[in-house]
């Protein structure tokens, strides 16, 4: 038997096990209230050298008109960290599965790529979306990373959290401590997957900064640009096919990342990246009625003014 994890690329909606609600039809219901401030502890935990600053500057292309329907968005140069364009870049918003960017960043540091992890019983009960991990099965860690960032499995997120820190709660402490250390002062996490909206938030600025930092790990970079991968699995599944949920990888020239997210509370969210002529850009759009169109417009703006 082959388990195929597929995506309806044009709509950005998963079929099969993926049972997320459809986005609201009308733009007016996409408005969200500001998320209250939550403090984060100070904790240093990193084996990678951090740049002195992840993002800087006022929007270089602020005078250029671009039609972006997302209420909060940003465009940055991934190579330099220069902010190119911004709209409510420091506004705190729910981020759904964009949370998994931080989860992957930390877990890649803690869980050996080729190690085998034993699936904890608790991860099989997390809310959808799940890839269907079975209690007690032993899985190569790299397979969980691909499912985390391509299929966006919430069970993968929890298992990698447990494998990294011993428990989900301990991993959450590390996530919030890392956000503080990186200077992401408008970011707070309440789950490794983003399935819990309450208290789980970030901003376009912080997400772009985190993504720029995450790209320093070559494995993260490789994962988020992968369009599809076949993996062998234990019986009775035998094999799985993970298809990346980021439609931009298939239809935008130079696209090479990063992650999609959606809950009914967050709306459609996307961190996108693309490289042309050796220059890489990062675009973040939150709560967008058309996240791919918004990301394309921002990336086009950046490349046109290169």
What is the CB neighbour count within 10 angstroms for residue 257? 28
Helices (H), the chain: 100-110, 141-146, 154-165, 168-181, 204-214, 218-225, 248-251, 291-304
Active site residue 100: yes
Which one of the listed residues 97, 164, 202, 266 is annotated catalytic?
97
What distance in Å separates the CA atoms of residue 62 and residue 51, rounded to the nearest whole number? 25
Task: Identify whether the C-beta of residue 119 lies closer than 8 Å to the C-beta of residue 136.
Answer: yes
Compute CA distances 160 → 78, 111, 170, 191, whole Å: 27, 8, 12, 12
Active site residue 97: yes
Which one of the listed residues 147, 152, 193, 202 is annotated catalytic?
152
Residue 208 CB contacts under 8 Å (≥ 6 apart), including other chains: 55, 74, 76, 271, 282, 284
What distance in Å separates the CA atoms of residue 26 and residue 178, rounded to the nearest whole number? 37
Which one of the listed residues 94, 100, 143, 240 is annotated catalytic?
100
What distance in Å separates the CA atoms of residue 234 and residue 232, rounded to the nearest whole number? 7
What distance in Å separates the CA atoms of residue 255 and residue 18, rounded to the nearest whole number? 24
Q: Is 156 helix (H, G, I), strand (E, B) or coil?
A: helix
Task: Identify whether the C-beta of residue 288 lies closer than 8 Å to the C-beta of residue 267.
Answer: yes
What distance in Å separates the CA atoms of residue 128 and residue 97, rounded to the nearest whole number? 12
Active site residue 163: no
**Which positions are catalytic?**
97, 100, 152
């Amino acid at each position: 038997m082959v388990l195929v994890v597929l995506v309806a690329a044009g709509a950005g909606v998963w079929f099969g096990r993926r049972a997320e609600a459809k986005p609201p039809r009308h733009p007016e219901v996409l408005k969200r209230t500001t998320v209250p401030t939550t403090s984060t502890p100070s904790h240093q935990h990193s084996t990678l050298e951090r740049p002195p600053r992840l993002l800087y500057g006022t929007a270089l292309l602020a005078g250029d008109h671009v039609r972006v329907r997302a209420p909060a968005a940003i465009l940055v140069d991934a190579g330099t960290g220069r902010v190119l364009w911004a709209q409510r870049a420091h506004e705190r918003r729910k981020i759904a599965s964009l949370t998994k960017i931080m989860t992957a960043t930390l877990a890649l540091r803690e869980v050996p790529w080729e190690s085998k992890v034993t699936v904890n019983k608790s991860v099989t009960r997390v809310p959808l979306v799940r890839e269907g991990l079975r209690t007690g099965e032993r899985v190569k860690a790299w397979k969980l990373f691909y499912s985390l960032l391509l299929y966006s499995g919430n069970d993968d997120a929890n298992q990698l959290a447990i494998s990294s820190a011993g428990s989900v709660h301990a991993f959450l402490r590390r996530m919030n401590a890392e956000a503080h250390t990186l200077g992401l002062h408008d970011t707070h996490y309440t789950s490794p997957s983003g399935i819990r909206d309450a208290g789980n938030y970030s901003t376009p600025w912080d997400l772009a900064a985190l993504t720029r930092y995450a790209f320093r790990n070559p494995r993260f970079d490789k994962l988020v640009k992968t369009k599809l991968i076949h993996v062998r699995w234990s019986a009775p599944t035998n094999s799985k096919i993970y298809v990346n949920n980021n439609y931009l990888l298939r239809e935008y020239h130079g696209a090479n990342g990063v992650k999609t997210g959606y809950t009914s509370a967050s709306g459609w969210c996307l961190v996108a990246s693309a490289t042309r002529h050796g220059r890489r850009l990062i675009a973040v759009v939150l709560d967008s009625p058309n996240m791919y169109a918004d990301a394309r417009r921002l990336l086009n703006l950046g490349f046109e003014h290169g």
